[in-house]
Every structure is written in structure tokens, then in C-alpha cells.
Amino acid sequence: AESTPEEFLSILQVLRDRGALVDTFTKKRIHRKQLPITADDTLLVVGDHDTMTKAFQMLGVPFEKETSVSGGGVDKLKRKKRILSRDILPSDCYPPPLQKYMGRSFYETTQTMLLEEVKMKGGLRMFVKPKNEVKKFTGRVITTLYDVQSLPSDTYLYVCDCVHFMSEFRFFVQSGCVIGIQCYKGDPCLQSKLNMVIIKKAIDDLESSPYKTAAYALDFGLVSHTYKSEDSVTTDYKDVDSLFDTLLVEWNDAYSLGSYGFSSQHYTDMLIARWQEVARHVQHISQQN
């Protein structure tokens, strides 16, 4: 989930209370490049995912070329498209250091390849979401050929085992430390059942990898201990002393995520920290050139 208008208003109030000079703008202005956005870490832009993508372009985040899907499988890709550098703006919702905490099998594919798989198997029940273009569509369960045909044909997909999360919690992380936890689905009283040892280990693994950022959110969910995945990637998530397993739902970058009632003060601090990190990256690249 992205930030909502109410969250934008709360950030606006926090910044004004701190004495910051704040102005609002329309999407039209940023799409027309009418805002003075530069690689200045004293500046901050706040908006939805599309707005922030435009802001990062204006900030000077470099583009890289990615081979995109073009009417075939992974081995038949033809077209190149420009995307914002993933060294600065990682977009994989299942970054490699965290994949062992998912507790379910998954694989990368394309719509064309998935269509062939469904035709061959006569149907399947799987959860599908975009791999990198995270706002391309909302993750969903697919069961029919029509479901697959409704997916975009020009992006990579993650296909995962379906898992019933009894409750889901967002962990807000800044500088490697958890600064808040919010339940966004299910029973918040189940928070005490989360295996914090597993969650801390996941954060430590991410923080010691090239995929870490200054601020981000990790979503974890509780699954009944009776859940079994036929092809689980790992058993690291197993908690033999609990009725539940603590599994990773996904990773989200801090610059555009829902707060679910999290402290507006800390939420604003996360946005500032992430913007400053991106601005410093751009400054460093400019100095090298």
C-alpha cells in the first residue's frame, strides 16, 4: 500500500511544526518538470509512487537499461527499456538476503510462460505479483487462464505458493533498527506470537548486504503451524515452540509506503533519511563524472 492523502497531511503538519518551509504541488507540475528539484539533501519531496519516480528522475537518479518482456519467455526477451538505477532504488520485493525467510516456494516468470504452464497443467492456484515494477498491479491469486491473460505482458512476475496469513505486521526500520510495528491485517493481539529472533536475523542479514537502504519496511505474517509448502526454500522460519510460523510477506522501500497509523514523526524521519541517502548517491555520481 502507498501513502494516503491523510498521511501526506500528517507529514505536512510535522514539517511545519518543525519550522520547515513547505509547499504543496499537483502531479501535473511534477510531470511537466516545473518544480526545482535538485540533489540537495536539505530538500524533501513526498508523494505517491508515481510522483516519487518523477521526482527521482528530476533529482538525477541515473537510468539503466533493462531487458524487458516482449512476447516470449525469459529466453526470448528483445526490447530494452530505461529504468531508474536499482543500485540506488532497489525494487525487488523479495531481495535475495530475505528469500530464505519466506517459507514458501516461488519462481520468476512472464505472462507468456505462465500461460503455457496453466494450459499444460489445466489450471493452478498461485499468488502472482510484479517482481520489480511493484505498482504495476496489485498482487493476486490466480486460478484460471483468464486470470493469467489479465496480467500485464511486459513485466517480470513472481509466482508463489498461496499462504494464508492469519495476521500481518509492518516493521518500520531505520538505520538497521526497528522503530515501529503496525498490524495492517488480521488480529493485532497476535503480535506477541511473532518470532522476533527470526525477524531480527532477517534485518541483520539485509543490513549486511548490498540491498540495504537507510529506511524501509519489512512485512511479516503469522501462518498456522500446520501450513506446509511442498517445495519450501528453507526451514529457517520454523518455530517449534509456537503454534505459528513467522514468514516474510515482502520488503518495501521507505519513500512510498503506507504507515497504517504509525507515528507521523517517525514516519517523516524515515522519508527524510531515505531521500537524503538517494540525494547523496546522486551527488557522488555527479562528482565522479
pLDDT of residue 260: 94
Please tell me the predicted confidence (pLDDT) of residue 170: 98
Separation between Cα atoms, residue 61 and residue 267, nearest integer Å: 23
pLDDT for residue 241:
52
- What is the per-residue pLDDT for 73? 47
Q: What is the pTM of this model?
A: 0.87
Cα distance between residue 37 and residue 43, in whole Å? 8
Report how many helices (DSSP H) and strands (DSSP E) the chain contains, helices first.
Answer: 7, 10
Cell numbers describing residue 204: 541483520
Strand partners, 65: 82
CA–CA distance, 142 with 6 (Å, rounded to integer): 32
Q: Show me where the domains of the chain are located.
A: 5-64, 106-160, 167-256
Fold of 167-256: D-amino Acid Aminotransferase; Chain A, domain 1 (3.30.470)
Contact 221, 172 (CB under 8 A): no
In this prediction, residue 232 carries a pLDDT of: 42
pLDDT, one tens digit per residue, over 168-191 is 999 999 999 999 999 999 999 999
Is the separation of the CB atoms in 229 and 104 below 8 Å?
Answer: yes
**pLDDT tens per residue across all 289 residues of the chain:** 556 788 899 999 999 999 999 999 999 999 999 999 988 878 899 998 889 989 999 988 876 655 555 444 444 444 555 667 878 888 889 999 999 999 999 999 988 899 888 888 877 889 999 887 778 888 999 988 889 999 888 788 999 999 999 999 999 999 999 999 999 999 999 999 999 999 999 999 999 999 999 999 999 999 987 654 444 434 455 554 568 899 999 999 999 888 999 999 999 999 999 999 999 998 888 888 7
